[in-house]
């Protein structure tokens, strides 16, 4: 870690508040399922963020269901946060349905937003400045009385500060009087520049002194979301909000994948638990895969090309000294250096994920072979960032004593239409041990029929597969310029009957049914091999 930049206002550490599941989900093209949100939340918890904003329980049933599920699960580092607005004008907090939903979400921490700009108060809310102050203070006080910790998001703070700095600070005072533990200054329109943000944050810090924690929530409409967040921390903000990969409405939010290493590696400000930063790349890729978005390969720190070097002067210099053309050691954020022309770097970090699925260790030879398989399949369109179960199977299949529980001999899928109703039928032939199993099943579509036929063939032999549930099915077209001949990647999410065990598998190919078969087969094979390994371990102990 670099030495701390001389600055008396710089905090020693910051709280990291992740809003990927709420603000990040407002990006066009993102629609998380509940399983998606839970998987991402657990990855964020493992990364070590302090707060995970799960959604707005008063706005939609999915977020209410998420909190009902998530509050019953264990969280190692993070506090779940339910998001909402101040009470509506003319209502008491206890009479506002959205406030009641916020309380009912069951989280220890709530984040509420209120207006800081006279324009927003008078033209959008169509109420008075004084009523807005009462709305803020009374809502915070009510939530505190319900036993909640409250983080207050001062929406449009910087716009409000430009128009009337005294009123903008008054809105913060109202939240402080109500009992908010953190006052977050929001550049909601994303239109400010770093020196403007730094000056306003410094003014708020001077106004409150050490009585309250100041935070920053920046959007990226000027391309300054990260810079504005860092500027706010330089001015004394000790709470930073943002999203993984910068996902968010319009141009996005401050990108935590860039903010966090800037704070830790450049300013010496602690943001994550020890060792957390090295998991940043895998979290970035995981969230992109679950969101069904192509990763930004040129993203600072975590992009595939962030530490890539082409042949020539740069590569020659890098051979003499690794810092010749790199501003940090890429391993600090989980990345690697690459020589683009020869692809010297591997993907061994992906193979290591197999250990999480019960593999004790990997010898060097097996690890090297697994890397080659992974690289070859990635070249065919596979992506293993969010498909750890498929990685584990690659390693298992390289063991000389491994025997797959089943093998595909043949399949056929037919789709027909009768009037307004379409139906699909899948016929499948498998080899299970010395036995051939031949069966068929119908479904609402080819994937559904395929899944039902596979289950019909395997469940009589492996009844435990009745407990295996398909949670989600995603399709991504990789080379769309090839039209209908494009390579398709299929990602399937699974869980057991209780939802306690989750895994994901991947398939790819020009034939969507072949890609689907690979992902489905991996899912069932993983369930069977993990259970078999658990039985063997139980016998040994």
What pLDDT was estimated at residue 358? 60
Within-domain flag for 45:
yes
216 and 339 together in one domain: no
User: What radius of gyration, in Å, describes the C-alpha atoms of the chain?
Assistant: 26
pLDDT tens across 64-112, in order?
A: 999 999 999 999 999 999 999 999 999 999 999 999 999 999 999 999 9
> For residue 105, how many C-alpha atoms fall within 13 Å in the half-sphere facing its CB?
33
DSSP string, 141-181: HHHHHTT-EEEEEEETHHHHHHH-HHHHHHHHHHHHHHT-S
- The pLDDT tens digits of the residues spanning 388-440 come to 889 889 988 988 888 999 999 999 988 887 767 778 899 999 999 889 999 99
Backbone angles phi, psi at 520, to 5 degrees: -65, -45
What value, to the nearest 5°, has the Cα angle with vertex 101 and ends 247 and 60? 45
DSSP-derived secondary structure letter, 89? T
Q: What is the structure's pLDDT at 348?
A: 41
- The 8-class DSSP code of residue 499 comes to S
Q: What is the largest CA-CA distance in the chain?
A: 81
Question: 398 and 526 share a domain?
Answer: yes
Query: Which residue range is the domain that position 325 belongs to?
Result: 310-345
Q: Judge if pTM exceeds 0.85.
A: no
Same domain, 366 and 327: no
> Does residue 9 lie in a domain region?
no
Cα separation, 61 vs 458, whole angstroms = 36
Is residue 276 within 8 A of residue 51, CB to CB? The reply is no
Angle, in degrees to the nearest 10, between helices 512-540 and 388-397: 70
Question: How high is the pLDDT of residue 536?
Answer: 44
Same-domain check for residues 236 and 151:
yes
Q: Is the pLDDT of residue 534 over 60?
A: no
In a domain, 299, yes or no: no
Domain of residue 401, CATH code: 3.30.160.340
Q: Residue 400 burial (CB < 10 Å; 0-12/13-18/19+)?
A: exposed
pLDDT of residue 323: 59
Choose between 477 and 457: higher pLDDT: 457
Together in a domain, 383 and 340: no
235 and 213 inside one domain:
yes
Q: What stretch of H or E contains 462?
A: none
Q: Does residue 55 lie in a domain region?
A: yes
Give me the mean pLDDT over the 342-348 stretch: 37
The answer for residues whose C-beta is within 8 angstroms of residue 404's C-beta and 6 or more apart is 397, 525
The number of helices, as runs of H, and strands, as runs of E, in the chain is 17, 16
Task: Please compute the mean of the pLDDT values over residues 235-259 and round it to a whole number.
Answer: 98
Average confidence (pLDDT) over 21-42 = 96
| pLDDT score of 356 | 52
Whole-angstrom distance, CA of residue 26 vs CA of residue 250: 8
Higher pLDDT, 245 or 510: 245
Q: Is residue 1 part of a domain?
A: no
Give yes or no: residues 333 and 387 share one domain: no
Q: Are 341 and 358 found together in one domain?
A: no
Distance between CA atoms of residues 415 and 452, nearest Å: 15
42 and 106: one domain? Answer: yes
Q: Are residues 256 and 400 in the same domain?
A: no
* Domain total in the chain: 3
Q: Can you say how many angstroms the Cα of residue 539 is from the centroid of all Cα atoms in its chain?
A: 38
Same domain, 173 and 62: yes
Are residues 371 and 279 part of one domain?
no
Asked if the structure places residue 214 within a domain, the reply is yes
């Amino acid at each position: 870690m670099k030495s701390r930049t001389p600055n008396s206002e710089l905090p020693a550490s910051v709280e990291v508040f992740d809003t990927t599941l709420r603000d990040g989900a407002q990006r066009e093209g993102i629609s998380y399922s509940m399983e998606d949100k839970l998987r991402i939340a657990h990855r964020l918890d493992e990364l070590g963020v302090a707060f995970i904003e799960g959604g707005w329980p008063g706005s939609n049933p999915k977020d209410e269901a998420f909190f009902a599920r998530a509050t019953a699960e264990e969280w190692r580092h993070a506090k779940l946060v339910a998001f909402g607005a101040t009470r509506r004008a003319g209502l008491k907090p206890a009479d506002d349905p959205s406030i009641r939903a916020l309380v009912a979400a069951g989280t220890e921490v709530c984040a509420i937003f209120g207006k800081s700009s006279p324009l927003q108060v008078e033209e959008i809310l169509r109420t008075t400045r004084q009523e807005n102050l009462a709305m803020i203070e009374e809502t915070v006080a009510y939530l505190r009385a319900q036993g909640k910790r409250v983080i207050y998001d001062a929406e449009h703070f910087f716009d409000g500060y430009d128009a009337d700095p005294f009123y903008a600070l008054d809105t913060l005072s109202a939240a402080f009087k109500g009992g908010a533990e953190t006052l977050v200054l929001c550049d909601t329109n994303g239109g400010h520049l770093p020196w403007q943000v730094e000056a306003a944050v410094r003014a708020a810090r001077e106004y409150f002194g050490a009585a309250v924690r100041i935070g920053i929530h920046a959007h990226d409409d000027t391309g300054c979301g990260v810079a504005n967040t860092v500027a706010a921390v330089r001015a004394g903000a000790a709470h930073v909000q943002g999203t993984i990969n910068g996902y968010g409405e319009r141009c996005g939010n401050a990108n935590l994948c860039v903010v966090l290493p800037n704070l830790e590696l450049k300013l010496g400000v602690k943001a994550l638990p020890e060792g957390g930063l090295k998991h940043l790349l895998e979290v970035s890729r995981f969230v992109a895969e679950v969101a069904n978005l192509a990763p930004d390969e040129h993203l600072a720190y975590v992009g595939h090309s962030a530490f890539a070097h082409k042949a020539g002067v740069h590569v020659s210099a890098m051979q003499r000294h690794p810092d010749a053309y790199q501003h940090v050691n890429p391993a600090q954020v989980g990345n690697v250096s690459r020589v683009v022309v020869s692809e010297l770097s591997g993907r061994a970090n992906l193979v290591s994920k197999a250990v999480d699925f019960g593999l004790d260790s990997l010898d060097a030879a097996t690890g090297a072979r697994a890397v080659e398989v992974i690289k070859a399949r990635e070249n065919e369109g596979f992506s293993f960032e969010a498909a750890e179960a498929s990685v584990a199977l690659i390693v298992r299949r390289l063991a000389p004593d491994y025997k797959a529980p089943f093998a595909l001999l043949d399949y056929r899928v037919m789709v027909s239409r009768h009037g307004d109703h379409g139906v699909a039928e899948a016929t499948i032939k498998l080899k299970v041990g010395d036995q051939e199993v031949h069966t068929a099943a119908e479904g609402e579509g080819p994937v559904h029929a395929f899944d039902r036929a596979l289950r019909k063939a395997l469940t009589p032999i492996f009844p435990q597969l009745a407990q295996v549930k398909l949670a989600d099915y995603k399709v991504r077209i990789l080379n769309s310029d090839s039209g209908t001949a494009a390579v398709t990647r299929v990602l399937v999410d699974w869980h057991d009957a209780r939802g306690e065990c989750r895994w994901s598998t991947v398939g790819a190919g020009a034939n969507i049914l072949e890609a689907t078969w690979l992902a489905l087969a991996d899912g069932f094979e993983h369930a069977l091999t993990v259970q078999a390994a658990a039985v063997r371990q139980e016998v040994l102990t």
